[in-house]
Amino acid sequence: MNKDTLKILVTGAAGFIGAALCKKLIFKRIKVIGIDNLNSYYDIKLKKSRLIDITESSFFDADLWSFHEGDLRDNELLETIFKENTPNVVVNLAAQAGVRYSLENPSSYIQTNLVGFSNVIEICRRFNVENFVYASSSSVYGSNTELPYDERQNVDHPLSLYAATKRSNELIAHSYSNLYNIPATGLRFFTVYGPWGRPDMAPMLFAKAILKREEIFVYNSGKMSRDFTYIDDIVEVIYRCCLKPATPDKGFRKGFPNPSTSFSPHRIFNVGNNSSINLMEFIDILEIEFGIKAKKIFKPMQPGDVLDTYANVEDIKSWVNFTPKTSLRFGIKKFAKWFLDFHANEYENLLKKF
């Protein structure tokens, strides 16, 4: 696709990945339409700060940006936005996130991740959107123990409702690709970290607790590993997929189906760092960056969690010619600097006490 003619609608535009993507697209001189309901799952001030950061970037152009506060369950709002803006690419990043929260509030996941997702892809059909890119998750691999995770593996045994909704998104998207010829690309993100991250995720929780000299909970006695993936690498992959709609797999064999491709224009890719880092190593590097030792409290494994994640990224490398470039040490350094800068007033006096 020609980037000069693109109008990209991004749902979840005030979220961690969404806001970073919007900045990237504006930097590339692409028209962006953002939607977000600014819900209170975590601090709304952080979401609003991300939106401000977009408009205060040195390359910001107001002609390339519009933002709409609203919910994907509101079909009238979606209708109005699509009529006024006629996007030709849609990136769906809006979702109720968090594995553990899905145990407490399952209805939120059904409403946002299933009803909201269905509304978005249906209006894409009605307005003849040329490319639909959507966020899936490494959590769909569930109880799989074979590492690295490969897109050809079975993903029919999710360990949480969150994972089940993400797998459902993949199936819904495939059916729309098959029935209506909508090019759809599902991206299975592995643990994303970096500046402007979600406060409910381990990097933010650990950073806050370490600086406040509070205890951090380390589950399964730290015997867990994650494929930590830096935000810039995630956003670069999404951007490249915006420029390359999914196509049918000409070599697809129905007798021996590849779960990640199709006879329809639907593709699924892992997006990770292609390395699995022990959680204790991640904490060690964070301690070095802050110059403070963490007070670790070791806990048992939590329901819905998996022991290890590790992404095989050969398929996405072949598809958009991208290999993750950010090392864990460099990524944590960037994250730690942002965290201290963003929370300067909160932690300045605290740091002086020690």
Give this prediction's pTM: 0.94
pLDDT computed for residue 348 by the predictor:
55
Task: Please tell me the CATH superfamily of domain 3-190+231-274+310-325, with its number.
Answer: NAD(P)-binding Rossmann-like Domain (3.40.50.720)
In the chain the first and final C-alpha atoms are separated, in Å, by 55
Write the single-letter amino acid at 62. Answer: A
Q: Residue 338: which of 35, 12, 16 has the closest Cα?
A: 16
Segment-wise mean pLDDT, segments of 10 residues, the chain, 354 residues: 88 98 98 94 91 96 97 96 97 86 83 95 98 96 92 92 95 98 98 94 92 91 92 98 97 93 98 93 94 92 84 97 94 95 68 49
Q: Domain ranges in the chain?
A: 3-190+231-274+310-325
pLDDT computed for residue 242 by the predictor:
97
Bridge pairing between strands 225-226 and 277-278: antiparallel
Q: Is the peptide bond before 300 cis (omega within 30 degrees of 0)?
A: no
- What's the rounded Cα separation, in Å, for the pair 109 and 95? 8
In whole angstroms, how large is the CA radius of gyration of the chain? 20
Query: What does the DSSP assignment read for 223-244?
Result: --EE--EEHHHHHHHHHHHHTS
Q: Which of 41, 134, 162, 193 is catalytic?
A: 162
Q: Is 162 a catalytic residue?
A: yes
C-alpha distances (whole Å) from 65 to each of 34, 49, 156, 263 are 8, 16, 39, 36
